[in-house]
Structure 1
Amino acid sequence: MNNIKEVAVIGLGYIGLPTAAILASKGIAVRGVDVTPRTVEAVNKGEVPFVEPALGEFVSAAVSAGTLSASFETPEAEAYIVAVPTPFNDDYTADLSYIEAAADGIAPVLKGGELVILESTSPPGATQHLFDYLLNKRPDLSADNLLVAHCPERVLPGYVMEELVTNDRIVGGITPEAADKAKALYETFCQADILTTDAKTAEMAKLVENSYRDVNIAFANELSVISDKLGIDVWELISLANRHPRVNILQPGPGVGGHCIAVDPWFIVSAAPEESQLIRTARNTNDSKPNWVINKVVAATKSSGFNGKVAVMGLAFKANIDDMRESPAIEITRQLAEANPTVEFLAVEPHVEALPKKLEGISNLTLTPTDEALKSAGVVTLLVDHDQFKSVPATVLAGKEIIDTRGLWR
């Protein structure tokens, strides 16, 4: 049974804020901590600084009820949930500096007996590193008086508030006591099974889940390249192959993006480089797909009837959200625009009001409404299958060069 009544959530991003909001909806006093003024201000107004269906209702209600607030400083609490980024370095090892920064804020306010949960997707050993880091900061605390666990998120952007409740969770503790206490906290909102294990196994489980998908996407992406060379419709091919009762090939795309699948496999590779040949190959296959798309677009601009304008449809890493982390569409758009300065690129992303920082300052690239881009472009490149793009009539696309990386306009 959970007896924790005060929780601090460090990092109010795509995972931290939903977790904070759903805990607050259960009557737990939650203080969110973030370094971004826009995020802190938005939350304290009961607003959400990014797109995630249903999250706004939870945040607004919790702030109105007084169970959720945000600040820049880490408060005293009975439990701390760390949900900060864990990008990889140039050598594909994990950058744990964000986790350490969160620990720097937590350590001074510890009194002993608190629970610290790492939600950030992490390489094997990161939770132990957090535990050791906190004790080094606070040598006055004993190892028996600090409970540290790992509970990786397992939600899909666009469905976070639903999947926080319905998806099974894995909790790995530095000690069984830490795992049990973390499990009790998550039981306040999670209706699915919560399975306990050790911290390193929990870390590896999350990496394995995303690496499994990455390997399967790589197979689909490789099929798309092969099919293009052979003059075969890859989406029809996959549909037919999937009629076999034991075959379930995923869908190809322009690459792989997001904060998990494009990153997590490298943590396994860096932990066991000689033993992870398949995982490494799949990652390289998916990382190479954007270059294939770029070459297709450049070839289309060489046609005699090209009018000098290319529409790039979608910048997010998946459909119907504004999340652009590790989005292959961003890199495809940037490389195309920078390498082809005489071509006008019309970027279409209905879920944002401005180009992301990686695309700012490129003179031949503008954020353009859907109708305007489709009307004026001679080449149309579909990178994200947003619902808004599904309704585009065939007549609008007639006479244009189409590079459809999602099979939306077949």
Structure 2
Amino acid sequence: MPLDVELSVTVMGLGYIGLPTAAVIARTGAKVTGVDVTPSVVDTINSGRVHIEEVDLDGLVSGVVARGQLTASLTVSPADVFVIAVPTPFTEGRQPDTTYVLNAARAIAPVLKPGDTVILESTSPVGTTEQVRDLIATLRSDLRMPGTARMGEQADLAIAYCPERVLPGRILVELIDNDRVIGGITPRCARKALAFYRRFVRGACVTTTARAAEMTKLTENAFRDVNIAFANELSLVADTLGVDVWEVIRLANRHPRVNILSPGPGVGGHCIAVDPWFLVAADPANTPLIRTAREVNDGKTDHIIARASALIEAETADRPVACLGLAFKANIDDFRESPALRVAQALAERFGERIRIVEPYAAQLPTKLAETGARLTDIDTALETCPVMIVLVDHDLFRSVPLEERRGKTVLDTRGLWPDQV
């Protein structure tokens, strides 16, 4: 559709990816409806406010809502383009759960019309885009599906896969500047989706098949997980040998072909801690390295819990202990799959009211953590009252604390935030 013709877009899911995506698309002049299952989310957005923390998102949403370019709804209406951006968690058995994706496909199926484009952005197991097509086909036998139409016939819908690849804290920038991989059920589908992304993406848009695009996203996150696992495993060895792992990594990285990442208390977030399991589930026999990396990174969290517990038990007086951070990475309010939250929860369940949580991006503690008796506090109070400090997240606020205010504390620094600590 030409840029001078108003495009109608429906974004399914208004979370950490869906809402920024909807707002960025609306800024191009498209008429965007964001659909979510949570009434409070819909009400918040329609009032011009946001329910998640992301740099500059509040101003962008306020503007596009005020201009009538973005509205939120609990129901699906007809549109020209449908973008599915819903969660894809895994089950307790570490099998991918595409329930939300398929439910989104069911929701849009009744309003689809010839000429529409359906794009899945959710990180998904290989083959999910085809499952979306097949589900729509069963619900709308009147529409010709891409890849199944008879020779010489043109499909009524374009169906494609284009995964997000953004960093929390930089989402609005990276939605526009990062390259995108666009995989179509057919080449025609890919080209149509490409035209849509060209409306707001400055980065390169590369077309491929839907299955290749799906595996590309999983590969990117598994690659990062494996490299983080190497750093985390090094930190365990360094602990055993009594060596400063941060110094070792700093020196090793002076080699021109070495670039070791930083260790931490584990790996969190909606992507790296989850997506590698999709590859393992698809081919268990041929993914021992990817599986081991996941186990190393999960095991690092258990190691930190054990070390922190030992430090607290060594403190003879029952004085308070500060856990610094709950988010899965610095300077965001996203606690999904967070190893910091897991550590804090385990310590609070064991030591109860002694645990003080410092999390500048939380107005209150998660319910399960609050039930332990742990309390939310600020960094100044923690520095005044807590002799033991467990650094779990490298928020800028924590980085700014000078040595003079930390001197004499017993510190477990899982992020290398305070290398000068004595």
| TM-score bracket relative to the smaller structure | over 0.9
Q: Does 1:101 align with 2:103?
A: yes
SS at match of 2:285: coil
Q: Does 1:203 align with 2:229?
A: no
Give the Cα separation in 1 of the matches to 2:206 and 2:28.
Answer: 21
Deviation at 1:110, TM superposition (A): 1.3
Q: Does 1:394 align with 2:403?
A: yes
Deviates more, 1:7-16 or 1:393-402: 393-402
Partner AA of 1:122 in structure 2: S
What's 1:141 paired with?
143
Deviation at 1:91, TM superposition (A): 1.9
What's 1:379 paired with?
388
CA contact (8 A) 1:301 1:308 kept: no
What's 1:283 paired with?
294
CA contact (8 A) 1:211 1:265 kept: yes
What's 1:315 paired with?
326
CA contact (8 A) 1:2 1:184 kept: no
Q: Does 1:39 align with 2:48?
A: no
**RMSD (CA atoms):** 1.3
Give the Cα separation in 2 of the matches to 1:113 and 1:264.
Answer: 32
CA contact (8 A) 2:52 2:333 kept: yes
Pick one of 133, 148, 168 that aligns with 1:131: 133
What's 1:352 paired with?
362
Give the Cα separation in 2 of the matches to 1:34 and 1:304.
Answer: 48
Change (3 A) 1:109 1:299: same
TM-score (norm 1): 0.97
Give the Cα separation in 1 of the matches to 2:317 and 2:272.
Answer: 36
TM-score (norm 2): 0.94
SS at match of 1:302: helix
Deviation at 1:201, TM superposition (A): 0.4
Give the Cα separation in 2 of the matches to 1:134 and 1:291.
Answer: 43
Deviation at 1:370, TM superposition (A): 1.4
What's 2:312 paired with?
301
Deviation at 1:305, TM superposition (A): 4.5
Give the Cα separation in 2 of the matches to 1:408 and 1:176.
Answer: 48
Q: Does 1:81 align with 2:83?
A: yes
CA contact (8 A) 2:113 2:156 kept: no
Deviations along 1:129-150, one digit per CA (max 9) or x if unpaired, are 1111111121222212122110
Q: How does 1:235-274 map to 2 (within 5 A)?
A: 235-274=246-285
Deviation at 1:303, TM superposition (A): 2.0
Partner AA of 1:134 in structure 2: I
Give the Cα separation in 1 of the matches to 2:278 and 2:344.
Answer: 27
What's 2:149 paired with?
none
Gaps of 5+ in 2: 146-154
SS at match of 1:145: coil
Change (3 A) 1:306 1:210: farther
What's 2:152 paired with?
none
Deviation at 1:340, TM superposition (A): 3.0
Partner AA of 1:29 in structure 2: K
Partner AA of 2:225 in structure 1: D
Deviation at 1:361, TM superposition (A): 1.5
Deviation at 1:395, TM superposition (A): 2.2
CA contact (8 A) 1:119 1:153 kept: yes
What's 1:113 paired with?
115
Deviation at 1:2, TM superposition (A): 5.0
Give the Cα separation in 1 of the matches to 2:42 and 2:367.
Answer: 21
Gaps of 5+ in 1: none
Deviates more, 1:39-48 or 1:6-15: 39-48
CA contact (8 A) 2:308 2:390 kept: yes
Deviation at 1:126, TM superposition (A): 0.8
Give the Cα separation in 2 of the matches to 1:117 and 1:70.
Answer: 19
Change (3 A) 1:336 1:304: closer
CA contact (8 A) 1:168 1:194 kept: yes
Equivalent pairs: percent with the same residue?
53
CA contact (8 A) 1:170 1:196 kept: yes
CA contact (8 A) 1:262 1:326 kept: yes
SS at match of 1:85: coil
Partner AA of 2:405 in structure 1: V
CA contact (8 A) 1:2 1:185 kept: no
Deviation at 1:304, TM superposition (A): 4.8
Change (3 A) 1:111 1:304: closer
Partner AA of 1:366 in structure 2: R
Deviations along 1:330-384, one digit per CA (max 9) or x if unpaired, are 111111111234x610011101101123423222x11111111222112100000
